[in-house]
Structure 1
Amino acid sequence: MQEHLSISKATVDRLPRYYRCLHQLTDEGVEITSSEDLGRRLAINPEQIRKDLAFFGQFGKKGVGYYVAELKESIGSILGLDHHWNIAIVGMGHLGVAIANYQGIARLGFRLVAIFDSNPVVVGTRVGQRRVEDIAYLAEIIAERGVQIGVIAVPAEHAQAVADLLVAAGIRAIWNFAPVKLQVPPHIPFVSEDLSVGLSSLSYYLNHVDAGNGDFSDKNSLS
């Protein structure tokens, strides 16, 4: 996607929201939508939606709108969801188990092909339909099953070591849930989800609302 490198991160980050909304419209049996309808559902300016989509081509029909199935397929392709990437999760604590059981992973077309832990009490047990593998065999299993995305759900003090293992094993991208800044090679894209940041932000807004410092109704959810 060399031609899309100039597109802003904000635009790229909105694409999954469009995709999810189109999925919901499909479930509702809606066949045609508009930027105005998408904007109402997502609390995004319709002009911004049109601008975002225009980066990737011409979509929809003037006077008609967007064909939901067609636009969903196009955005899915832009996001690379048609590749059906293989995922491995490291860390089968409460958070790791929750991620492993999250049905949205499969719904988006990702395939959970391995889950790992180092605790001998956990190794060999089952989470959903998968057996927990010993992290000692991580490199071998990642190569054997063609895993492209590694998910880190371990305590902060172990996260960098796990990231190093994943990179050495040939992983191509990392989704990190540990509250720590990882050091990874520049060719490895990674996304960090720090739950404490989200909670602290909510605490900030609640604190200012309690202090009578404004209406935060425009702070729309990013989820």
Structure 2
Amino acid sequence: MATGRTHRPATRSRGIPEATVARLPLYLRALTALSERSVPTVSSEELAAAAGVNSAKLRKDFSYLGSYGTRGVGYDVEYLVYQISRELGLTQDWPVVIVGIGNLGAALANYGGFASRGFRVAALIDADPAMAGKPVAGIPVQHSDDLEKIIQDNGVSIGVIATPAGAAQAVCERLVAAGVTSILNFAPTVLSVPEGVDVRKVDLSIELQILAFHEQRKAGEEAAAASDGGVPAAAVRSDSTDQGPDGDMPAVMPA
């Protein structure tokens, strides 16, 4: 089976916009659920609702894949699962290393969804000598002194950083120097990487802060409605006023 070292996804060379690429996993998740229920076909409206986007945007996204569905029938679920998986590079094996095996790193190692989505946890790495050799999710933790050799031996091109913020940049630089070209960063810091290296940042505190903003706004609207004896503003506001330029996502939400 091919590894991430020798093959790369074809999305950029095919001119698929980054915003569309970001939505493909949403479609794949919805389609996989349909496939597991043995649903043969799905309309653009049904699939869009399941993925949380509007149907016009879905049809536009699928046009980049060369998939237009059949009028009156919809999209073939199994074919779309294959087509999107292929575009995302999930029809091949992607070995992944997780660096930083604290509570978060251990939780990621124990996540059972990697294998079914085309990813294999090749190694767990930590700087604590006391962690070396300890099994987490059935995989023995290896010391960070061996990081470069581990990456080279396993042909790794995707790294996950789950270290404290202060260690993340140094770990990132070692990963990149060893040949890693894609990084998923869980550390609460912004990483500096050279051109050609892709970084996706997952910051749970930022997502919670965004939710807190919405909760505060809703509380304020309810308080204003109670003092006025009227209807909450959210109930009478036009659907479009709380949306961004695309018409289906709040403007304050991240892409």
TM tier, smaller: over 0.9
Q: Write out aligned runs for 1:1-223 (5 A).
A: 1=10, 2-5=12-15, 7-212=16-221, 214-215=233-234
Measure how far apart 1:219 and its partner are.
6.5
Q: 1:52-101, CA deviations, whole angstroms, 9 ceiling, x for partnerless residues?
A: 00012134323211111111000000111112211000000111011111
Measure how far apart 1:33 and its partner are.
0.8
Alpha-carbon distance in structure 1 between the residues aligned to 2:101 and 2:65: 38
Q: Structure 2: which amino acid aligns with 1:151?
A: V
How many residues are aligned here? 221
- Contact 2:59/2:68 (8 A) holds in 1: no
Higher CA-based Rg: 2
Moved more, 50-59 or 84-93: 50-59
- Contact 2:94/2:118 (8 A) holds in 1: yes
Gaps of 5+ in 2: 1-9, 223-232, 235-241, 243-247
Cα distance change, pair 43–101 in 1 and its aligned pair in 2 (3 A): same
Measure how far apart 1:40 and its partner are.
2.0
Identity of aligned residues (%): 40
- RMSD, matched Cα: 2.0
Structure 1 residue ranges, 4+ long, deviating more than 4 angstroms after superposition: 218-222
Measure how far apart 1:12 and its partner are.
1.1
Measure how far apart 1:134 and its partner are.
0.4
Alpha-carbon distance in structure 2 between the residues aligned to 1:70 and 1:26: 10
- Contact 1:59/1:71 (8 A) holds in 2: no
Alpha-carbon distance in structure 1 between the residues aligned to 2:133 and 2:106: 14
Measure how far apart 1:44 and its partner are.
1.4
